A and B are shown apart, each in its own frame.
Chain A
Amino acid sequence: MSAWWKALRALFWQQKARMDGVVVPDNSRCVQCGICSYNCPIGIDVRRYAWEGRPIRDDYCVTCGQCVARCPRGVLSFEVLARTLESTP
């Protein structure tokens, strides 16, 4: 498989994760620096979610990816999580 095709496929899955996914924190890395919350264009307190180890299931989150990109410790990532009845707000 050519490198070009591989890159395209990777991009497709990344975009899919962005669309279907939620931002998930890895608690073990977070140092509560606040860069995530500071850069959220919506003003979501991403840092608090990271402290509590909760995925950001916030109606206002548009999965813009700013927090994910800017976290200096790689705490945040997009993951596709199964939505169950209990988890929808």
Chain B
Amino acid sequence: MRRYVIVGTGVAAVAAAEAIRQHDPRGVIVLVGMEAEGYYSRPGLAYYLTGEIPENMLFPFRDADFRRLQVQVVHDRVEGLDPARQRVRLARRGWLAYDRLLLATGARAVRPPWPGVDLEGVVYLDNLAHTRHVIRLARKAKEAVVVGGGITALELAEGLQARRVRVHYLLRGDRYWRRVLDPVESRLVEQRLTQMGIRLHHHTQIAEILGHKGRVTGVRTQDGRVLRCQLVGIAVGIRPRVELAREAGIATERGILVSPFMETSVPHVYAAGDVAQVFDPRVGQHVLDSLWPLARMQGTAAGANMAGHRVPYHRGTPLNVTRLAHITTAIMGQVGQRDADPDAGLVRGDSEVWRALPDAILAQKNDEVNLIRLMVGRRTLLGAVVMGDQSLVRGLYTLIDRQVDITPIREQLLTPGAPLGDLLAAFWSEVQAHIHDAAAENGSPPLREASE
């Protein structure tokens, strides 16, 4: 009877446990996590902060669900790995033997090296404990300064604003999330933020966090201004938790390196989720993602492989759908901006693929709150951003992911002022009709895939 030990209690860990149980009805499955709260929806923390959900809604699984799966969840800290003897050392319970080990330790928020960053009142939105802390501090705080690009910073800003704290959002550059969004998209988001009452400060960076008697009183910016505040929300990036793996001699780079079967460099040890840097054959490199649905898929693949069911994880084109200043936004494939900083680190809800710079032309159409931006390659669509109405996203995603030949509509798409939505919708129904007809005839999908 196999023993499966999983380090972590995030979505990758839980998905792995489900997959293992599906293939191995009798094996012993133990999840070991450092968070007392166990498994919860990390993306949901943003909505807990805004007040849209109470804390008790953050838990998708109850104890009964884990019992039904016959999975044991242990609250403890793993101090070290001993792959040679196939065991891990827990802080309180000592040695725990395994036949298969999964490292799903996730990533942690980066703590920037600014003076004053350890003052009481400096907050992150990385986990449930942080979020509770922010909510508690927000009760007394009048003003807050938030820094960071990407999604988490916005979640902090919007959440604090919703809790009636006056928010100053500092942007390093000239516009929001310039690595991924184009100027029009940034402006759309910024307009909404301003309407919500959030004050934006462009070209502004923190030089120092000021304090009195150990508590935050304000920030000094690099251009010498002082902003008074009692809270400083930081979301400047995340770093995978690779320490355990590194100390045990498992191969790592920015994350723990794994094959498409989620195997690390050490036999019987796997990794999945935000900590894993997975080899993507389409790109020819190991790639890091911080996307919840991908973490789940990786966990599922890891679990299946651990239980002896050899199935590769197929990454597919990265897709993130999130809410930016109340606008539902889908980002997929390659959408990178030409002025982007290629060395910039990863943030949550991010993918390294998005910021690769494709040699492509841009087709864009705005219609009030509905926006579509396409990255059009020679014969395929390389990426897209869709804000507002999401009905085209599934079709668009397939066109991008399956590298469908869009030559029939390419010229039309690139015509300025083209009705992108209508063109794509019409093209997509044709493509679907083809699939339907061919499937009816011989059961194989006939999407005209453009081979480069």
Q: Name A's B-contacting residues (CB within 8 A).
A: 26-35, 37-38, 47-48, 51, 72-75, 77
Q: List 25 A-B contacts (CB under 8 A).
A: A26-B394, A29-B293, A29-B319, A29-B330, A30-B293, A31-B43, A31-B292, A31-B293, A32-B43, A32-B44, A32-B60, A32-B292, A33-B53, A33-B57, A34-B47, A34-B57, A34-B58, A35-B47, A38-B52, A38-B57, A51-B60, A72-B47, A73-B322, A74-B328, A74-B393
Known: A31-B43, A73-B328, A74-B328. 8 other contacts (CB 8 A): A26-B394, A29-B293, A31-B293, A32-B11, A48-B60, A72-B52, A72-B328, A73-B322
* A47 with B60, Cβ < 8 A, contacts A73-B321, A73-B322 known: yes
Which residues on the A side are within 8 Å of B52 (C-beta)? Answer: 35, 38, 72
- Docked complex Cα distance between A72 and B393 (Å): 15
- Return the contact of B53 from the options A27, A31, A35, A51 (Cβ within 8 A): A35
Which residues on the A side are within 8 Å of B391 (C-beta)? Answer: 77
Which residues on the B side are within 8 Å of A72 (C-beta)? Answer: 47, 52, 322-323, 328
Q: Name B's A-contacting residues (CB within 8 A).
A: 11, 41-44, 47, 52-54, 57-58, 60, 292-293, 319, 321-323, 328, 330, 390-391, 393-394, 397
Smallest distance from the beta carbon of B84 to chain A beta carbons, Å? 37
Task: Tell me the dominant secondary structure on chain B's binding face.
Answer: mixed
- Docked complex Cα distance between A6 and B63 (Å): 51
Between A and B, how many residue pairs show CB distances below 8 Å?
65
Smallest distance from the beta carbon of B66 to chain A beta carbons, Å? 14
Which residues on the B side are within 8 Å of A35 (C-beta)? Answer: 44, 47, 52-53, 57
- Docked complex Cα distance between A28 and B322 (Å): 12
Smallest distance from the beta carbon of A7 to chain B beta carbons, Å? 14
Smallest distance from the beta carbon of B274 to chain A beta carbons, Å? 13
Smallest distance from the beta carbon of B124 to chain A beta carbons, Å? 19
Which residues on the B side are within 8 Å of A27 (C-beta)? Answer: 293
